[in-house]
């Protein structure tokens, strides 16, 4: 498949024809963190399967729709359900959502995910503002022919998790009823959870949390110079930290517990973002 500019434009033209507007901020909702979607005013919902050249969500806890509307006084586009490498997509396909956002005129992207806590100071329910990531396995989503419209072949990722947005996120923490951390997210391909030995290795390498998403989207955002903010919700202690097995159910229960508070907090963050200063 030739993922050229025309390929991405086709999805964007379709979505634009339905929303007739330009979203300012995009947000991707992770596993069990769908509550935020209910806060969107005047929503226009578009099923992923109806968007040409888009992907479809195969994970049960992911709704599989794009929602355009207002939240925190801003025009937003929200992905309720995302795409992962473990679903069978190629890395090259995982650029599709962020490139859609870029073509729609989005000025900043917020990514959220459920993650396992590697840092033993962290607790289930804590929120980690991602300051950096480690991705040692698998290919880059930017592999293949470069689409110059979005960014250069080789690109810097030193400050890809935008400092200004991270500071803003911390400043919004007060009264949220949530505990915030700042740390490093390490990407694993899944769908199996990690082994205890992998988690020990991750800790030595400097990871604070592990998960199976976000990094491909974050790299795509960095490539097209999109300001970026990413949050990891600690839904479990990573493998081997506690003397118990990991399960998707545990992840879902922990995410559901904070989903409402987190949704409210995200709305506050969105309301505080000053688009003209990004």
Q: Binding to ligand HPA by residue 95, rule CB under 6 A?
A: no
Position among 27, 79, 94, 114 found at the interface with ligand HPA (CB under 6 A): 114
How far apart are CB 238 and ligand HPA at their closest, in Å?
5
Question: How far apart are alpha carbons 17 and 164 in whole angstroms?
Answer: 33
Is 160:134 a contact under the CB 8 Å cutoff?
Answer: no
Residue found under tokens 């806590």 = 117
Residue 205-224 contact track with ligand HPA, rule CB under 6 A, x = bound: -----xxx------------
Q: Binding to ligand HPA by residue 127, rule CB under 6 A?
A: no
Q: Binding to ligand HPA by residue 186, rule CB under 6 A?
A: no
Residue, CB closest to ligand HPA: 116
Q: Could you tell me which stretch among 48-56, 63-71, 103-111, 232-240 binds ligand HPA (CB under 6 A)?
A: 232-240
How far apart are CB 120 and ligand HPA at their closest, in Å?
14
Q: Binding to ligand HPA by residue 116, rule CB under 6 A?
A: yes
Q: Could you tell me which stretch among 2-10, 80-88, 187-195, 219-227 binds ligand HPA (CB under 6 A)?
A: 187-195
Distances (CA, A) of 177 to 114, 174, 207, 252: 18, 8, 25, 20
Count of chain residues binding ligand HPA (CB under 6 A): 14
Measured in residues, the chain has a length of: 278
Q: Binding to ligand HPA by residue 258, rule CB under 6 A?
A: no
Question: How far apart are alpha carbons 76 and 269 in whole angstroms?
Answer: 13
Distances (CA, A) of 33 to 204, 244, 267: 29, 24, 13
Kindly tell me the burial class for residue 217, based on how many C-beta atoms sit within 10 Å of its own C-beta (0-12, 13-18, 19 or more). buried
**CA proximity to 125, closest of 31, 245, 262, 263:** 262
∠ at Cα 229 (223, 230), nearest 5°?
100
Q: Binding to ligand HPA by residue 124, rule CB under 6 A?
A: no
The rounded Cα 171 to chain-centroid distance in angstroms is 20
How far apart are CB 234 and ligand HPA at their closest, in Å?
8
Q: Could you tell me which stretch among 39-47, 85-93, 110-118, 124-132 binds ligand HPA (CB under 6 A)?
A: 110-118
* Beta carbon nearer to ligand HPA, 67 or 215: 215
How many CB atoms within 10 Å of residue 271?
12
Give the residues lining the site for ligand HPA (CB under 6 A): 114-116, 188, 193-194, 210-212, 235-236, 238, 246, 251
């Amino acid at each position: 498949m030739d993922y050229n500019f025309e390929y991405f434009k086709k999805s964007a033209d379709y979505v634009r024809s339905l929303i007739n507007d330009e979203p300012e901020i995009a947000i991707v909702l992770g596993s069990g963190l769908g509550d935020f979607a209910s806060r969107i005013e005047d929503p226009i919902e578009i099923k992923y399967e109806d968007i040409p050249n888009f992907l479809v969500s195969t994970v049960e806890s992911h709704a599989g729709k794009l929602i355009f509307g207002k939240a925190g006084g801003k025009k937003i586009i929200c992905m309720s359900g995302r795409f992962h490498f473990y679903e069978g997509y190629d890395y090259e396909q995982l650029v599709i959502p962020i490139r859609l956002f870029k073509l729609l005129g989005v000025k900043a992207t917020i990514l959220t995910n459920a993650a396992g806590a590697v840092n033993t100071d962290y607790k289930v329910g804590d929120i980690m503002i991602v300051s950096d990531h480690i991705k040692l396995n698998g290919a880059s989503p930017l592999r293949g022919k470069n689409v110059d419209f979005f960014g250069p072949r080789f690109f810097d990722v030193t400050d890809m998790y935008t400092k200004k947005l991270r500071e803003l996120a911390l400043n919004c923490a007060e009264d949220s009823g949530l505990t915030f951390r700042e740390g490093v997210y390490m990407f694993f391909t899944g769908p199996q959870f990690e082994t205890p030995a992998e988690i020990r290795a991750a800790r030595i390498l400097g990871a604070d949390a592990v998960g199976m998403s976000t990094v491909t989207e974050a790299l795509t955002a960095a490539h097209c110079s999109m300001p970026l903010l990413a949050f990891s919700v600690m839904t479990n202690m990573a493998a081997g930290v506690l003397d118990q097995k990991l399960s998707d159910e545990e992840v879902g229960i922990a995410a559901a517990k904070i989903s409402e508070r987190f949704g409210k907090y995200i709305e506050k963050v969105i309301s505080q973002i000053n688009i003209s200063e990004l």
